Amino acid sequence: MVNGKQRIGSDLLGPVKGQAEACVWLVTALALTLVYLGFGQADFLASKVLPALGVDALGDLQEWWAVLAQFTCAFVLFFLLPLGAIKLFSQASLGELGLGLGDKRFGFGFVLPLGVLFLAIPSGLSTWGMESFQAEYPLAKLAVESPGRFVLYQLAYGLLYYVAYEAFFRGFLQLGLARKLGHFPALLIQTSVTTLFHLGKPLPELWSALFAGLFFGLLVIRTRSIWPLVLVHWALGVVTDLVAAYGTGLI
């Protein structure tokens, strides 16, 4: 039977343990983010990793393979490693972290179609004529060389990068922290991290990341699932790539 002193000690240590777990969760997320930004970007992979593997004479394909390797790094660092760590060390369920289907009617019946029609397509089209976006996208210019290559590129972009991005930032980071800190602090942390993550991107995209962090963060709380957001984000990427490629005469 638990005596009074034990009960008081448990009551006092409960919040401390919760905050400690949240700190470990956040520090781990920041560490993985820094590893990706430092060693998982296409420029680093093309200049350091591919030559070390003896594949530095690919010509125009160098950028293509470097970008695909970047997407793979994102998937490993932002999806596979956190998923494995959660399975081994955390009691959080995948549903709590947004990896289930959540509110399917609201997420897939409302957020997804309206998000594509009124957010992804207009936002992508709004980059028309912006030289900063034309210089940045698509990340691999060979992606628009042929329809088949474009489809392959977008599949890798969506299934490796966008799945990992939303799972990591909106799922593991935001919803994971919300279990211990509450939704509002977790939302602000996620928005701060994802905004800073876009430093170096075109300025309009950096500002969009701030508002998207808040908006998508609220939506993942309501839908309890990252998957509608993955598809909306993916659609935005496709439209942005097409607009940028058309503007530069690549297609």
Query: pLDDT (tens digit, 9 = 90+) per residue, 83-92?
Result: 999 999 888 8
pTM, entire model: 0.91
Lowest mean pLDDT: which of 7-11, 20-24, 37-41, 82-86? 7-11
Q: 3-state secondary structure string, the chain?
A: CCCHHHHHHHHHHHHHHHHHHHHHHHHHHHHHHHHHHHHCCHHHHHHHHHHHCCCCCCCCHHHHHHHHHHHHHHHHHHHHHHHHHHHHHCCCCCCCCCCCCCCHHHHHHHHHHHHHHHHHHHHHHCCCCCHHHHHHCCCCHHHHCCHHHHHHHHHHHHHHHHHHHHHHHHHHHHHHHHHHHCHHHHHHHHHHHHHHHCCCCCHHHHHHHHHHHHHHHHHHHHHCCCHHHHHHHHHHHHHHHHHHHHHCCCC
Query: pLDDT (tens digit, 9 = 90+) per residue, 49-95?
Result: 878 777 666 666 888 999 999 999 999 999 999 999 999 988 889 99
Q: For 180-191, what is the mean pLDDT?
A: 96
